[in-house]
Each structure stands twice: as C-alpha cells, then as structure tokens.
Amino acid sequence: MPDNEQIILATLKDGEKRWKDLERLLVKSGKMSKSTLSQNLLKLERDGKIKRFADYSKKPPAVQYALSSFESHLERKVREAVEELRCTFKFFREPTVKEVAFKVGETPEAVRPILYGLAPKIGWREQDKEEAEKEAEEAINLAGWLIWLQKGEQNAELNKMVEEAKQAASNGIVERARKILEYCPELAPEAKPASHGPHFFASAGLEPWPEETERVWMRVFLKEPPSSGTQQHAAWT
C-alpha cells in the first residue's frame, strides 16, 4: 500500500492544489487524517519534493501546493518577463522586481516571492544601482577582450591583458559578458595592439566604447556612461 507521502505526490501529479482541495481529496475521503496531511506536506516541502506558493489571482490570496517541478502560469510569465527585459537591457543589468511586476501586470508583492523562488534556476538577483553599473562596465569591457580571444590572433601583450581581465572577473560578470558577446557583439569595444607612427604612439588595450553602447547605457541607467577604453594615446610633433 502506498505511504502517505506517495499518496500526496500522486494527487499533485496533475497540477497544483489548494489546501481545501487536498483536504477534500485526502481527508474527507478517509485516506489520512488532517494532522497527517499537514505533517506530510511540511516534510515533502522541506525535502524539496513539493512547493507551496500563493495564488494572488484569488482574493484573499490562496495557498497552493504543487510538485517541485511544476511551473504555474504566473511563474512562467515571470520567467519569460525576466528574459525579455534582459534582452531589452542588452544584458547590462538584471531587471528589478518592479520592472518584472509591471511587465507581467501584477503587483511587486505578488511577483517578489516568485522571482526569488526562480532565482537559483534563472540566475536572477537583485542588484543595487552602483553594483549594477560596475558589473555592466566590467562585462562590456570583458566582452571586448573575449572577442579578441576568439580571433585567435597572436599578440603576447594583448593575450596577457585578456587573461588578467578574465581572472579578475567574477562568474556573474563572465556570464554577462558572454551574453553580450552572443546577442549583441557590436556593443563590445575593440581590442587593439600597440601601434605607432612618425608622430604618435598608442599602447595596447581597448578602444573607447562604440557610440551605440553609450546610447544603450544612457537608456538602461539613465546617466552618462563612464569613461571607457584602456588604450593610451600619445602624440608629438
């Protein structure tokens, strides 16, 4: 005979259930007591086999239970909104709770717990303004270095600078740089080796950001972009 946990999991197989649904299906039918249902729901949730969430479409919000793999309609909308907003922001930063809520037409209070619940799966996290700007600047520059690396050209000075930039970057910045590289490589600055002529010298490094990158920065952060480029130029006559 299946145990109480298996009975609950089988009941949730076809979708989410409210407490009163579970009570009707399992308690009133005589399969288990109310206290047994409560205890097993807590254990299953603690073990990560089921999840509990609030359905804010109901007034007042109704608590629902579902298998941990189940994705509710609102969860799907939130996940899709995050991806769409990331593309809109050219992967410079993460969308805020308020921005996601506006996108899906829900209140921030309804979206926040869902977004934090999805965070480990979709890599989302809440950034403060300064952190977002700093990470975006580093990711944009790293994308430029990664493009140079992809070219496979041999330049000891630039290759060393690329490795230093990669080692200094966090996993999050590396991932953001790769997204920029994959979806909008035209926004990455160009890495150039040292050059010189009769009246000038330019050290190895990154060129200033493209104008489009600066325009996107102003749209995403509502402020002037930082000074960019690492190449030093000198001219003499």
Per residue in 116-153, pLDDT (tens digit) is 989 999 999 999 999 999 999 999 999 999 999 998 88
Radius of gyration over alpha carbons of the chain, in Å?
26
Helices (H), 47-155: 73-88, 97-104, 108-122, 129-151
pLDDT band at 63 (very low <50, low <70, confident <90, very high): confident
Per residue in 153-202, pLDDT (tens digit) is 888 899 999 999 999 999 999 999 999 999 999 999 999 887 766 665 67
What percent of the chain lies above the pLDDT cut of 90?
72
Among 139, 144, 185, 145, residue whose Cα is nearest residue 163 = 145
Return mean pLDDT, the chain.
90
Instruction: Note the pLDDT of residue 1.
Output: 42
The rounded distance, in Å, linking the Cα atoms of 225 and 219 is 10
Per residue in 27-47, pLDDT (tens digit) is 999 999 999 999 999 999 999
Question: What's the rounded mean pLDDT across residues 83-102?
Answer: 98
> Model pTM greater than 0.85?
no
Instruction: Note the pLDDT of residue 53.
Output: 81
Cα-to-chain-centroid distance, residue 168: 21
Does 11 score more than 90 pLDDT? yes
The rounded distance, in Å, linking the Cα atoms of 18 and 26 is 12
Instruction: Note the pLDDT of residue 237.
Output: 44
Domains of the chain, start order: 4-67 (1.10.10.10), 73-122 (1.10.10), 129-235 (no CATH)
